[in-house]
Amino acid sequence: MIRRLIILLLIVGCAKDSNNSIASPTPLPPLFENSIVSTEIDFIRESDPDAFISITYTGEDEKEMPDRRNDILYDTNTYVFEASSSNGKIVEIWAHSSFGDENIAQEFADKLTSRLGKLPEFMRDKLSHVVIHKGDATAFSDHLGHFFVLYSDNMNTRIINNDLEETVFHESVHATLDADHREQQGWINAQKRDNNFITEYAQDNPETEDLAESAIFIYTMLKYPARLSEDVEDWVNTHIPNRFEYVRSMFE
């Protein structure tokens, strides 16, 4: 009995890191396939308050409009909007000329504004702009240029599924936090100590997707306590505690 107790204490001791966080001794299967479309969790709700104040159309201009569907970079008649938030920050929204009409372009800019307003202020302040293309493809981001790209048909699908808020948050993490944190030793150490991933997407792409995948769970726990199920919160606290502490330090 004493021998078993000693072995148990040794195992627990080995699982502790220098900050006294506990890491799982062996990896577990991820809790979800991915954080947005496979969870049915409404992390950020349409009814949540936001800081958006107004949107202004400033005219047409030539803009860099990267598109995963082709290699055409520049658009000469992009519709440009300015979305203002309560702290005075302005985020530009660039809608591709293929929308063909200022009013149609603004319909999709309007679908984005309240979602931008729900971002944490420090993330919104670092966001340069958002690109909106007409058509259907999955969103992506540029962590060096601090912007992300959306597609109109995919936006509509995400709105129907209550996922556009989460998509904007996920891509904004890439656009505003990846450059400063993804390759930091503190984040890398947290990944190693936890030895678990909350989603398969994060596990399959640890260097590029883990921060954004983990952050939405942790942000929701901090901003909206008890919005996630008790089982999910317990999983986060038990199996990725070091990531939790790292991300919490950014949001608090």
Paired strand residues for 140: 149
What pLDDT is attached to residue 26?
80
Per residue in 103-155, pLDDT (tens digit) is 999 999 999 999 999 999 999 999 999 999 999 999 999 999 999 999 999 99
- Which residues lie below 8 Å from residue 203, measured CB to CB, with a gap of 6+? 30, 197, 210
Query: What is the model's pTM?
Result: 0.90
What pLDDT is attached to residue 205?
98
8-state DSSP, 16: B
Rounded to an integer, what distance in angstroms lies between the CA atom of residue 103 and that of residue 95? 11
How far CA 75 is from CA of 34, 80, 111, 147, 161, in Å, comes to: 33, 11, 22, 16, 30
The encoded tokens of residue 213 equal 């995948």
What pLDDT is attached to residue 25?
57
- Which parts of the chain register pLDDT below 70? 1-25
Q: Is the CB of residue 214 less than 8 Å from the CB of residue 247?
A: yes
Per residue in 52-61, pLDDT (tens digit) is 999 999 999 9
